[in-house]
Amino acid sequence: MRRFAPAFTGVLFLTLLVSAAPRPQGQAQVPPVIDHIHLGVPDQAKAVEWYQKFFDGKPMTEGPDRLMFGDTRLNFLRNADGKPSTGTGLDHIGFSVANLDAKMKEFEAAGIKIVTPARDVEGLFRLAFIEDPWGTRIEVVQDPDKLGLHHVHLRTPDVDAAIAWYKAKFGGETAKLKNRIDGLRYSGVWLLFQRGDSTPTEGRAIDHIGWRTTNLEIKARELKSQGVRFTTEPTPLRLAGGANITYSYLEGPAGVRIELVQR
């Protein structure tokens, strides 16, 4: 676990909130929540400012190194030597906007790198790809059904096996976005999967994802019994905003670094 400057102490993780409590028969099940996405950047304050400006992230008291998007945090880990996310197990993240063409003009005026210009995809939606100043690949879509933080897109050689693995370990509803893209649906945000070779995520622009658990020791024992390899045992940490958490890291399919967090 890296140590950061006190002003930005924190762990960088995307957390999918999973409720393990049993539900009465007949009661509708509320999907788990994607709670955190963790990006590596050389300057956390500038990254917070950038995502707040272009994607309307909301500051939070938990720490100055993170923003809130609906129910989901986007946190920033200090990494001066990060490499782009493209081609890793966590290839890109997606945001949905009401007017993609207007947003693309805003990006162009600001000198943001346009990877793929806006285009219509039949049966899906209008979309484009950009890259933030620190190498995170971002898909910007115009999906009126879900504005704001939209999805996390994984690359894996075996989509079916990866979906089954994540669902078995951390929940989620198996579904297809617009009946086109395989994924797991969570409350507000999709976890999508694309077939392809990938490189490990640690140290890259999208460093890792993580799931929140109410009891890290029990969850770790459960996953270890299923053959999951942990790279960091449960460790306590005090965040910059004063909150206490316990975290650990494990290995996911296709080189995806995963964090478990109890808070």
Q: What is the pLDDT of residues 150-201, one digit of tens each?
A: 999 999 999 999 999 999 998 889 999 999 999 998 877 899 999 999 999 9
Q: Please report the pLDDT score of residue 17 as a whole number.
A: 40
What are the CA-CA distances from residue 32 to residues 8, 19, 163, 170 (Å)?
28, 6, 15, 9
Q: Which amino acid is at 210?
A: G
Task: Name the pLDDT band for 9 (thresholds 50, 70, 90).
Answer: very low
Q: Please report the pLDDT score of residue 189 as a whole number.
A: 87
For 97-147, list the strands marked E by DSSP: 113-120, 126-131, 137-142
Nearest to 187 by CA among 58, 92, 67, 70: 70
Task: Name the pLDDT band for 79 (thresholds 50, 70, 90).
Answer: very high
Structure-token pair, residue 155: 């690359």
Structure-token pair, residue 102: 């207007």
Q: Please report the pLDDT score of residue 33 as a whole number.
A: 65
| DSSP structural state of residue 6 | G
Nearest to 66 by CA among 53, 54, 75: 75
| DSSP structural state of residue 263 | -
Helix (H) or strand (E) holding 107: helix 100-109
Structure-token pair, residue 236: 């306590």
Burial of 251 (0-12, 13-18, 19+ CB in 10 A): middle
Helix, strand or coil, per DSSP, at residue 63: coil
The CATH fold assigned to 6-21+29-262 is: 2,3-Dihydroxybiphenyl 1,2-Dioxygenase; domain 1 (3.10.180)
Handedness of CA 97, 63, 203, 38 (dihedral sign): negative
Task: Name the pLDDT band for 32 (thresholds 50, 70, 90).
Answer: low
Tell me if 15 sits within 8 A of 21, measured CB to CB: no
Provide the mean pLDDT of the chain. 87
Q: How far apart are CA 223 and CA 143, in angstroms?
A: 35
The string of pLDDT tens digits covering residues 88-116 is 999 999 999 999 999 999 999 999 999 99
Strands 58-59 and 36-41, how do they pair? unpaired
- Rg (Cα) of the chain, in Å, rounded? 18
Average pLDDT over residues 17-30: 38
The string of pLDDT tens digits covering residues 35-63 is 788 999 999 999 999 999 999 999 988 88
